[in-house]
Amino acid sequence: MSRALTPLEKTLAEFPLKFAVAVLIAEPSRFDGDVRLTNGTATLVQFGRNRFAVTCSHVLEKYRRTPDAILQIGNIKLDPTVQLVAEHPTADLATIRISESQAEGLTACDGMRAEFFQPTSWPPATVRENHCVALCGYPGKWRQRMSPEKIDFYGYSIGATAVTSAGEDRFACLFERQRWVSSFRHELQDLEELGGMSGGPVFRLGYLQWELVGFIYEFSPQYDIMFMRPAHMVHADGSILWP
């Protein structure tokens, strides 16, 4: 369905992208001199003076398994093994500390300026079935290599979708694409494969404020279901709690 978005719909679609950046893993090829690229997503969040990039453990594992790989969060290159605060492979979450100078670099990039989400209180309330959430990430299918030194990422956001199942350690959204209002205004087509969005933020519009309630960790293209970990698993000191 295509029509002009209402101001509320536009806000719902754009808000999550303010706090998400692409995580790029570049692997120099030993055979043809080219560079192989993969990507995930990171959520930028700040608790007091502590700034973190929250992503998925499997994104960092891809970096570790790739010889001579370079990892970049947004426009900042870093070594996640040095700045890693916590990682839980079962929860598939990881927190990376971001320094003040790195934060300034992230928030000063061209195009859409990244921001660190600062919750007014933490942890957030539990997500329940039928709650409406907004989420986003950077699918690899929309990654475009413009030149050897420039890569463009197009964010994919869903402004309002219902939580169809919720438990202690995860919640999920079964997409109903036939009910969506498309707001894309570029040549890229809608996607059935959303790989690369792992680590993206999930928000719920509460009473007069947004709540960061989850992080994307898996997408099932077969069933068109997005799976997310509850945000309260990440503590304000960057540690990760698993049930």
Q: What pLDDT score does 154 carry?
A: 79
Whether the Cβ atoms of residue 196 and residue 190 lie closer than 8 Å to each other:
no
What's the CA gap between 198 and 195, in Å, rounded?
7
In order of 27, 45, 164, 219, the CA distances from 89 in angstroms are 22, 20, 25, 17
Q: Which residues contact 242 (CB under 8 A, 6 or more apart)?
A: 88, 90, 91, 169, 233
Query: What tokens does 92 get?
Result: 């598939």
Strands 70-73, 50-55: pairing kind: unpaired
Domains along the chain with CATH numbers: 7-233 (2.40.10.120)
- Torsion 100-106-107-108 (CA) sign: positive
The pLDDT tens digits along the chain (243 residues) read 555 667 777 788 889 999 999 999 988 765 555 778 889 999 999 999 999 999 999 999 999 988 789 999 998 999 999 999 999 999 999 999 999 999 998 877 555 578 999 999 999 999 999 999 999 999 977 777 655 566 777 788 888 899 999 999 999 999 877 666 554 545 556 667 788 999 999 999 887 789 999 999 999 998 989 999 999 999 999 999 998
- Which helix (H) or strand (E) covers residue 23, if one does? strand 20-28
Nearest in space to 159 (alpha carbons), one of 3, 17, 2: 17
What's the CA gap between 63 and 51, in Å, rounded?
22
